[in-house]
Amino acid sequence: MIFSFQLNSYAQVNMVMDSSFEQFDTCGFVFNSFNHLLFWMNPTPTTPDALSPCNINSGGILSAPSNGYGFEKAGSGLSYVGIDVYDLDNGNIEYICTHLRSNLVAGKKYFIWFYVSLADSSDYAIDQLGVLFSTDSVLGITSHYVIDSTPQLISQSGWYLSDTSAWTKISFYYTATGKENYLIIGNFKDTSQTNHIYLHYSKNGYQYAYYYIDDVSVIELPDTTAPTEPLIIPTYLTSQNATWQIINLPVNTSVKIYNIIGQLLYGNDAY
């Protein structure tokens, strides 16, 4: 059996500025920490949180890695944000929004991903967080509840985002229409329509699902890739139960598996 790997290399420019929430206009604030981020904005009247060691005057409530919602080390850098996406106490739903470096290009394909971790103080977890691309920032919305727009991308139904000890990656492929200028992340379902599970992680009895978010990325994928010499790896599996594991390959790697007489057993041009 022969494994062939062809790495499709291309320049990766993240369309999201400050993808890991590190850039503030000042430090030492006590409240409204999210409003001090330079490249992110709040599209509704709710209060998402920027959680950072920068928040030295918050008494630890808005700090990181330990804060008023729990404990989580940043995925990269030192900071991350937190949003309430399901709340039985007041029905609030929070979102985060950013202006992309430029409009997405019509017909171009993009790879979008971000990481979430359920805060320790959450009694609930939900299964569907969405990404809405918009022509504007949706600023001016006066509702504390759900944004009445359908996201282009939404995580898998039934996959409950319940891990409180590690980051969970949510990712999508997306073909742009050419009008996308802003990116908004959150729960786009009303509280009554949100799939949820009761976990009782919290000893405080907070009836919400509060998620940390970090490392948001939007990367354009290439239209075509110039041919390169494949890496050929011969291998001989000596047992029916033997396996060959592939890990840490770059996005969009071409993977093909042939048997000893050259027949293609498996192929994926964007592994």
Closest CA relative to residue 98, chosen from 117, 84, 112? 112
* pLDDT given at position 95: 95
Rounded mean pLDDT, 108-113? 96
Q: What tens digit of pLDDT does each residue of 246-259 get?
A: 655 666 677 777 66
pLDDT-derived band at 245, boundaries 50, 70, 90: low
Q: For residue 226, is pLDDT > 50?
A: no
Residues in the chain: 271
pLDDT-derived band at 85, boundaries 50, 70, 90: very high
The three-state secondary structure class of 267 is strand
* Widest pairwise Cα distance in the chain: 68
Q: What tens digit of pLDDT does each residue of 176-206 get?
A: 999 899 999 999 999 999 999 999 766 666 7
Q: What tens digit of pLDDT does each residue of 24-38 get?
A: 998 877 778 999 999
Q: For residue 11, is pLDDT > 90?
A: no
Structure tokens of 184? 């908004």
Rounded alpha-carbon distances, angstroms, from residue 2 to 19, 229, 237, 238, 268:
39, 15, 10, 14, 15
